[in-house]
Copies of this chain bind each other. A is one copy, B any other.
Amino acid sequence: MKKQDLKIRAFVAPTPTVISAAYDENGRADACTLAFVMMSSHHPPCVTIAINATAKRKTLKSILSSGAFTVGYPSTDQAKEADYLGVETGYHADKLKEIGYTTTEAKCVHAPVIDQIKLTLECKVVHTVTVGSHTQITGEIVNIQASEAIVDAQGKVMMDKLNPIIYNEEAFTYHALGECVSEAFKPGAAFKKDLMGK
């Protein structure tokens, strides 16, 4: 295929869309929406987020001072609220209060769980590093809280009930998860077996 070079930019797409939250030094809950998030370890289970350090995000300050944060998954019907939490800064407004969201302290860390969010990871900061414009924060996941309505009998999250928001940085759009195109691991394992039998 014929290829061309594109303008250099931070590119990972599509990405999940999450709301990170932490208490500031006065116990106020800060929250900001971000797409810079990934799993980063299985043992112990960890998640890593990156937050703009140069823009002095209030949530970043609160995560670093408290040593804890939560990662919440907004649903597609919460796109407006999630978008606002990414656009406004906590230095100018009590953002969660403005949108009518309430919080409860997490069970295992000192960080706020947003009551209206259906799935939340409770995280303890275990590593931080600033690379370029962003600070990368790795949190050990010490608890996961989910609405009973989105969990199946095996304790797995049903994505069609959570309806997570997927972000497309190329078009500045939010999307739903699309149709299943394949199982994971089974096709690759079958392929491996076929290749070994050649």
Residue ranges of A at the interface with B (Cβ–Cβ < 8 Å): 1-16, 18, 35-50, 52, 54, 71, 76, 79-88, 93, 98-99, 107, 115-116, 118, 121, 126-127, 129, 131-134, 136, 138, 140-149, 151, 155-159, 164-189, 191-192, 195
Q: Chain B residues near A79 (CB, 8 Å)?
A: 181-182, 187
Q: Chain B residues near A134 (CB, 8 Å)?
A: 40-42, 46
Q: Does B84 contact A188, Cβ atoms closer than 8 Å?
A: yes
Of B16, B98, B159, B178, which contacts A176 at CB under 8 A? B178
Q: How far apart sit A176 and B138, CA to CA, in the bound complex (Å)?
A: 28
Q: Does A136 contact B11, Cβ atoms closer than 8 Å?
A: no
In the assembled complex, how far is the CB of residue A170 from the closest CB belonging to chain B, in whole angstroms? 5
Q: Does B174 contact A183, Cβ atoms closer than 8 Å?
A: yes
A98-B195, A145-B3 known; A180+B173 contact, CB < 8 A = yes
Q: Chain B residues near A44 (CB, 8 Å)?
A: 132
In the assembled complex, how far is the CB of residue A75 from the closest CB belonging to chain B, in whole angstroms? 10
Q: Chain B residues near A49 (CB, 8 Å)?
A: 38
Q: How far apart sit A134 and B47, CA to CA, in the bound complex (Å)?
A: 11
In the assembled complex, how far is the CB of residue A144 from the closest CB belonging to chain B, in whole angstroms? 4
Q: In the complex, given contacts A1-B149, A99-B191, what are 6 additional A-B residue pairs having Cβ atoms less than 8 angstroms apart?
A: A5-B143, A12-B38, A39-B50, A41-B131, A174-B183, A175-B178
Q: Chain B residues near A13 (CB, 8 Å)?
A: 16, 157, 159, 164
28 interchain pairs, CB-CB under 8 A:
A3-B147, A4-B146, A5-B143, A5-B145, A6-B155, A6-B157, A8-B142, A10-B47, A12-B37, A13-B164, A38-B49, A39-B169, A41-B132, A76-B181, A79-B187, A80-B182, A83-B185, A83-B187, A83-B188, A84-B191, A86-B184, A127-B129, A129-B129, A166-B178, A172-B184, A172-B185, A173-B180, A174-B180
